[in-house]
Amino acid sequence: MEALRDKGVVVTGAAGGIGRAIAEACVAAGARVVVTDLDAERLLATATDLGAYAVPSDVSTNDGIEAVIELTTAHLGGIDVWVGNAGIQGGLGLETPDETWQLAHDVNVMAHVRAARLLVPAWLESGGGRFVVTASAAGLLTMIGAAPYSVTKHAAVAFAEWLAATYGHRGIDVHCLCPQGVDTAIYRDAGAVQGLLAADGLLTPAEVAAALLEAIEQGRHQVLPHPQVRQYAIARATDTDAWLRGMQRLQGRYDAPPRTSEETR
């Protein structure tokens, strides 16, 4: 894949799940890959398996982002592609404390802002770069039972769109990855909502990574590994009230206590 061949690529949140799969796909495409994650032990194992270079770091902080960019630049000589994949669910509903909201905001939104702030000026001088935001279908729609995740992923989508609108004509390619149900830790921790997330098919991280690389090759901004999400987004935009009524019905199913065996006879 020429768009990635011999390019310097950073993938955040890459110890496992979608991040690891994207890193593996980039290595297979001929890229020189640096992986980063808060979980240093798993990250080092992933880097060894993939033939990548590991930079353990906390991308929820400005210092963490700066460290990744500095160490990656020293190792690779430069960064051509940034894949901001790190993300957390960050609590549930109104009971979620402020500090949990703040952490979700730092990981799911500000990590992208802080990375772009450091990378884009250099890319404009050098003639271009590529920035990937791993958001979620929740960022186009919403996610039942996960207010911080829904809100911050909406913000991540908005930032990706702003970045593309502002710098796309100056050689900065931006892609926004919005999967729905994927077999990752977030899905496995989703509890009763798992059935909703998997309703349109549960994808593997490798399938999501393949969708991203296809979008990069085709030059598409929005990446929807689950094609049904496009129709849901259209329905939400064209008749928001009807869409909300549908979401309320889903929430009602989520709120309802499970039926006992006696009740199902």
For residues 207-225, one letter each, b for 16 or more C-beta atoms within 10 angstroms of the residue's C-beta and e for the rest, the string is bbbbbbbebbeeeebbbbb
Question: Nearest to residue 208, comparing CAs of 7, 13, 8?
Answer: 13
For residues 78 and 64, give the distance between their C-alpha atoms in angstroms, rounded to a whole number. 17
**Which active-site residues does the annotation give?**
149
d(CA 191, CA 95): 17
Side-chain-side CA neighbours of 50 within 13 Å: the count stands at 31
The first and second tokens of residue 139, run together, are 């960022």
**Distances from the Cα of 80 to the Cα of 4, 6, 74, 93, 186, angstroms:** 9, 10, 13, 38, 29
Contacts of residue 185, defined as CB under 8 A and 6 or more positions apart, other chains included, come to: 16, 17
- Look-up of token digits 């930032």: 159
Q: Please give the Cα distance from 17 to 230 (Å, whole number).
A: 23
